Amino acid sequence: MNHPFEKHKNVCGAILVILVLISSWFTSNGIKKAYHNKGQLLRNGALIAGFVDRVSPQIGAIFVVSDGIRVRLKYDMRHTVIHPGDHIVFSGRYRTPVKKRNPQDFDEQAYFFSSSIRASFDRVSLLLVDHSHHSNSFFHARYILQNLVKKRIHQVFRDPSSRALVMAMVLGDRSELTDGVQTTFRQTGISHVLAISGMHMGLISSILLLLVGIPITRWPLSIGSRKKIIIISTLALIWIYALTIGLSPSVFRSAVMASSVGCCVLRNTSISLLRVLGISVYILLLVNPSDIGRPGFQLSFAAVSGIVLGRAHTRQSYPLNHFAQSFRVSFSATIATAPFLLSHFGALPLISFLVSPFVISGVVLSLSLSLIALITPVFGTFIAEISSIGFRFITLSVGAIPDVARLVFYNSPAIMWASISGSIGLCIYWLKGHNRPIMYLTGLIFLGSTILFFRSKPAVNVTFFDVGQADASLVELPKSRFLLIDTGLNQYSARTLINHLYHARPEQLDIIITHADQDHAGGLPFIISHYPQARIHHGGWIQSTQLSTYSIRRGMTLNLGSDVRVRILNPMLPGSENKDAVVIRLEYGNTAVLFTGDIDSSTEKRLINEFDTFLPADILKAAHHGSNTSSSLSFSRRVAAKWVIFSTGMNNRFGHPDPLVIDRFRRLGTIMHNTAQDQAAVFQLDGESVIHK
């Protein structure tokens, strides 16, 4: 008689994995805090010793391991020769990782945590660099192996673009990939093929299994013994490879999954991808429970789950069905990862599930040939040329996809509902088999949500950037139109705006400069250098024959769409003083945002007298960063905004926002948002309501 556990082992296993997931979620925050405190132990150390783990000349950084803590050093290496494995003694200034303060900013804190970096130092002085530890250093051995593989790749691959792809897929080194290639793969939703993942590890495992198995099969041992030796040897080589390329989170996940498959083979257990997935999740979260909160972990296992569910109930028949199966698996992986993509990145490129079957098939073939070329001593260059043809075809094909076909669904309640319903339907389909009513119901929900998305009124997004003691706001309008109001203090402020616009890909950009002060117009030259066709609207103080400039006055209206209207309430006459700043009322349906530049209370009084009915707004951009010379009680009461935004710098010398102004808005019941304390503010207007995102 079977043990009761055998009958319900899948359910018990699922419950165990769920318990691990829950416990990991609750312990991840504690681990983050513990790591942060561990990094702070080095803060007061005058001299710190450690081994060099990795050197990155491109970003001017040295990664050092000291007392089990991984540390990043910002250092100019032009005059110092440093290699992994060197023993160094240094001193420097401890620096706190920078938090993400704007939507498209680099999240240094998240990067440090995901890369196991516990501390960072700048203004570094190297007091000792000792090369004598090379022969006994794991780091230097790894460095030597990486260089040998890089040398071999450069030797057999003559085409630079193909060589860059092989470097990324074999060593995880994207330094030779052009920005254009990475952007194209990211916009079409297939950038995952550039990172070392389960697919890459599966190919490498297959080749290693072949290389190890051919000689061992001739040994005078039993079949079972030879199988065990082959599997154990292959797993050992997989982990050596993983350690050689740096054991990044994605590599570690792939190696654990490969090991799970190997363990199933050693135990003569049937290889179930769902079982392998459960074992891998269990091991990874036991090693590092904080992984559960990382996007890479969630997306990786969501994709594998989608593949497992998509392959369920597949009947092997004619070769033509293999492509249909690939399409279904790709579609299933897209559906499974959709909620996480929308949650973490706010966008879902739908072209990916159409392109992925072709790209993945081509990558599998080309990468297999590339690996054979690297290990073949005689015909390596010839095989590499064949592989390069495949890589060039993939790159050209993906790059040839027109922008209009790169349809992207942005996060909205309808699309999130569609993605979640699709994921649930996928699970039910796996549990129930070919249950046609459930399949049809899920398809109808997905189709209905998609139609609702297209038929719904497009939203207008307003972002108030954190650019220090300066002003910069961006309005994202329907049909890829953008309105930038002020450009920050300098090119560093403008770079934040450029990063945002680069990801948004505007078809039309209008810029309104409220007045000539440096903290409003300082970043304009830098913006224009990237977007020379932008139309610049100003209060009459810009004189240029080389730019598309337009002077605006009170009473004018800018029509930026069928439902979007920009009313100009100030200035009366051309001028560059604070009282002459451009005042804008952005209207979308029954919602409105009021931008007041740096106007003072005298201008506010005149606006009450002349534009009383146009002052009420849902959001008020506080004048002059919250100075007491503005935001009078009568003006603030007339606007009656639900939210007020103070664009200020941390610990600014002006004391903005003024305590009297804060108290004034508090008494009015207005929700206050200070960019110095609360980072950037993002709002979504649908014409009827305003959502603070």
Question: Which two three-digit tokens encode residue 197?
Answer: 């993942």
Bridge pairing between strands 548-551 and 557-559: unpaired
Higher pLDDT, 327 or 18: 327
Plot region of 462 (φ>0 → left; ψ -120 to 50 → alpha; else → beta): beta
Q: Taking residues 120-142, report their average pLDDT.
A: 75
Q: Taking residues 114-129, report their average pLDDT.
A: 80
Residue 149 inside a domain? The answer is no
Residue 387 inside a domain? The answer is no
Residue 410 has pLDDT above 70, yes or no: no
Specify the pLDDT at position 84. Answer: 83
- Domain span at residue 571? 460-692
Helix, strand, or coil (residue 65): strand
Residue 480 inside a domain? The answer is yes
Specify the pLDDT at position 292. Answer: 72
Q: Taking residues 360-367, report their average pLDDT.
A: 84
Residue 646 has pLDDT above 90, yes or no: yes
Confidence of residue 662 (pLDDT cuts 50, 70, 90): very high
Share of the chain above pLDDT 70, in %: 79
pLDDT in tens, 492-543: 889 999 988 877 778 889 999 998 899 999 999 999 999 999 999 998 877 7
Q: What is the CATH number of the domain that holds 587?
A: 3.60.15.10
Residue 490 inside a domain? The answer is yes
Specify the pLDDT at position 519. Answer: 93
Higher pLDDT, 46 or 369: 369
pLDDT in tens, 135-177: 446 777 888 888 899 999 999 998 898 999 999 888 888 878 8
Last residue of a domain, one of 135, 158, 183: 135
**Cis peptide bond prior to 571, omega within 30° of 0:** yes
Give the phi and the psi of residue 5 in degrees, each rounded to 5: -65, -35
Residue 253 CB coordination number (10 Å): 24
Specify the pLDDT at position 594. Answer: 97
Last residue of a domain, one of 93, 116, 135: 135
Residue 436 has pLDDT above 80, yes or no: no
Q: Taking residues 335-340, report their average pLDDT.
A: 77
Residue 220 inside a domain? The answer is no
pTM: 0.69
The DSSP-derived string for 119-152 is: EEEEEEEEEEEE-TTGGG-HHHHHHHHHHHHHHH
Residue 81 has pLDDT above 50, yes or no: yes
Last residue of a domain, one of 100, 118, 135: 135
Question: Which two three-digit tokens encode residue 55?
Answer: 């050197």
Specify the pLDDT at position 152. Answer: 92
| 334 closest CA partner among 301, 304, 303, 289 | 303
Share of the chain above pLDDT 90, in %: 26
Confidence of residue 3 (pLDDT cuts 50, 70, 90): very low
Residue 315 inside a domain? The answer is no
Residue 455 has pLDDT above 60, yes or no: no
Residue 478 inside a domain? The answer is yes
First to last CA, the chain: 58
Residue 99 inside a domain? The answer is yes
Strand partners, 487: none
Q: What is the mean pLDDT of the chain?
A: 80
| 632 closest CA partner among 652, 606, 671, 593 | 606
Assess contact for 191 and 303: CB atoms under 8 A.
Answer: no
Radius of gyration of the chain (CA): 29
Assess contact for 50 and 73: CB atoms under 8 A.
Answer: no
pLDDT in tens, 41-78: 455 445 788 888 888 776 778 788 777 778 888 887 77
Specify the pLDDT at position 687. Answer: 87
Report the C-alpha dihedral over residues 223, 224, 228, 234, rounded to 10 degrees.
Answer: 30
